[in-house]
Structure 1
Amino acid sequence: MAGWADQVSFLADIDAEARQALQVLKPMHVPQRTTLFRPGDAAQSFVILLSGRIGVYLTGRNGRELLLYSVTPGETCVQTTLGVLGGAPYSGEAVAESDLVAVMVPPAVFERLMASSPAFRAFVFKAFADRLGDLMFVLEQVAFVKVEQRLAHALLERADEEGRVALTHQELAAVIGTAREVVSRRLEALSSKGVVENERGQIRLVDRGELSRMARVGEG
């Protein structure tokens, strides 16, 4: 009978021995908005995400949050990898942005697989490199891209099929790296132009074409 490790495409290249070692670990269900770790916590396991989305945030001394990166199936968390490999404590906070299904790999199993399975090791380091790329993208966006462009891109990326974005103004501010008041003003301006509609606890996209144009401004 096929187990979870046989059903996820991003582990297709790992060897049979590594697959067997992972297969005995039971997937866990984690509810939306659960805090997975906080600054100062020690890494307890290496997370393999099977479904859902995790957001990893950094909080500044002024209390403002910034989304460092998101983790989706097939991706890994930089801070967790560093914590399990080198014992570094978490400096950010991870929150389940949706209901999750994940496998928690104990440090002993993770270290054994890293030492014995080149394919598993390649998966970990490739995913790690991808997350570093995301961090560089965040730095570039915050440093060089206008708030309006970042907001348009975030709205398009987070909208469901019906064009609704189930995020508060504070949560959107964390995603694009600015203050809640700035997001509120920009959304009010977009609403007055008929581009979005501000609804209770969410934003509805009215003119995706205009948001796409705004998201592309300055590219190339």
Structure 2
Amino acid sequence: MKEELLATFGSYFEQPLIDEIVEEGKLMEVPAGETIMDIGQYIRSIPLLLSGAIKVLREDEEGDELLLYYLEQGETCSVTMACCMGQTKSEIRAITETDTKMVMVPVQKMEEWMAKYKGWRNYVLESYQNRLNELLLTVDSIAFKNLDQRLVDYLKKKVEVTNDDHIRNTHQEIAYDLHTSRVVVSRLLKKLEKMKKLVLHRNYIHVVDL
């Protein structure tokens, strides 16, 4: 685990901090599609991603979901950190997009490391800034972009985080992520196929040129 931590976080964290993470953290390998954090849960630890990707979702009063952002290698979830600091319940759902390896760090170490390690402070502050920027992009997308462009952006990001141009989500799953209906998603995907941007298959979507 130490070698992977150094490779992923060595540019951020001091050597003594890496040693503490090895001592205090718990290495987890989680297959794709697993919920690792759910709405209403109290958070006992925070993830540091060594590999893979996690999608973070918000749920409305009717139970419909909206994709907020992805977490990738070298990142953590600032919303999780905020819940930890405030000792409040989670307001997001986190699901592994791909097979994911991460180190879970106990929440009680957060404040200690904030005071003790400059590298940890900078990492946490940068994480907050990155997540805020992504949330603003999500708000802008909903407010200012039509659904056609939102779908294209979604597919591009999906290819990027999975490193795979074959998207295996159903039309319904894509509709959930974009907070729209399956019928609309299917119609827009057909439109993109006619434009030769992608090819629709029975069990997957092949992205060609978005």
- Give the superposition deviation at 1:157: 2.7
**Partner residue in 2 for 1:96:** 96
Q: For residue 7 of structure 1, give the secondary structure of its aligned residue in structure 2.
A: helix
Taking a change above 3 Å as real, the CA distance of residues 17 and 175 of structure 1, as seen in their structure-2 partners, is same
Q: For residue 127 of structure 1, give the secondary structure of its aligned residue in structure 2.
A: helix
**Partner residue in 1 for 2:29:** 29
In the TM superposition, 1:71-150 aligns within 5 A as: 71-150=71-150
Question: Which has the higher Rg, Structure 1 or Structure 2?
Answer: 1
% identical equivalent positions? 31
**Partner residue in 2 for 1:19:** 18
Cα distance in structure 2, aligned partners of 1:59 and 1:26? 28
**Partner residue in 2 for 1:185:** 187
Cα distance in structure 1, aligned partners of 2:164 and 2:98? 17
Question: TM-score, normalising length from structure 2?
Answer: 0.89
Q: Note if 1:42 corresponds to 2:42.
A: yes
Picking from 169, 172, 175, the partner of 1:170 is 172
Matched residue type, 2:170: T
Structure 2: state its 5+ residue gaps.
none
Matched residue type, 1:113: W
Cα distance in structure 1, aligned partners of 2:4 and 2:26? 9
Q: Is the 8 A contact 1:83 1:89 kept in 2?
A: yes
Moved more, 133-142 or 110-119: 110-119
- Give the superposition deviation at 1:26: 4.0
Moved more, 23-32 or 46-55: 23-32
Taking a change above 3 Å as real, the CA distance of residues 180 and 64 of structure 1, as seen in their structure-2 partners, is farther
Moved more, 54-63 or 27-36: 54-63
- Give the superposition deviation at 1:182: 1.3
Q: For residue 43 of structure 2, give the secondary structure of its aligned residue in structure 1.
A: coil
Matched residue type, 1:195: K
Q: Is the 8 A contact 1:43 1:90 kept in 2?
A: yes
Q: For residue 139 of structure 2, give the secondary structure of its aligned residue in structure 1.
A: helix
- Give the superposition deviation at 1:96: 0.6
Q: Is the 8 A contact 2:41 2:90 kept in 1?
A: yes
Q: For residue 3 of structure 1, give the secondary structure of its aligned residue in structure 2.
A: helix
Matched residue type, 2:19: Q
Q: Is the 8 A contact 1:32 1:99 kept in 2?
A: yes
- Give the superposition deviation at 1:143: 0.8
Question: TM-score, normalising length from structure 1?
Answer: 0.85
Q: Is the 8 A contact 1:50 1:73 kept in 2?
A: yes
**Partner residue in 2 for 1:64:** 64
Q: For residue 143 of structure 1, give the secondary structure of its aligned residue in structure 2.
A: helix
Q: Is the 8 A contact 2:2 2:18 kept in 1?
A: no
Cα distance in structure 2, aligned partners of 1:162 and 1:51? 15
**Partner residue in 2 for 1:214:** none
How many pairs are equivalent? 207
After superposition, what is the alpha-carbon deviation per residue over 1:114-140, rounded to whole angstroms, capped at 9, x for unaligned? Answer: 121121111011112101111111000
Cα distance in structure 2, aligned partners of 1:91 and 1:161? 28
Moved more, 183-192 or 41-50: 183-192
Taking a change above 3 Å as real, the CA distance of residues 162 and 100 of structure 1, as seen in their structure-2 partners, is closer
After superposition, what is the alpha-carbon deviation per residue over 1:189-208, rounded to whole angstroms, capped at 9, x for unaligned? Answer: 223444322212321124x1
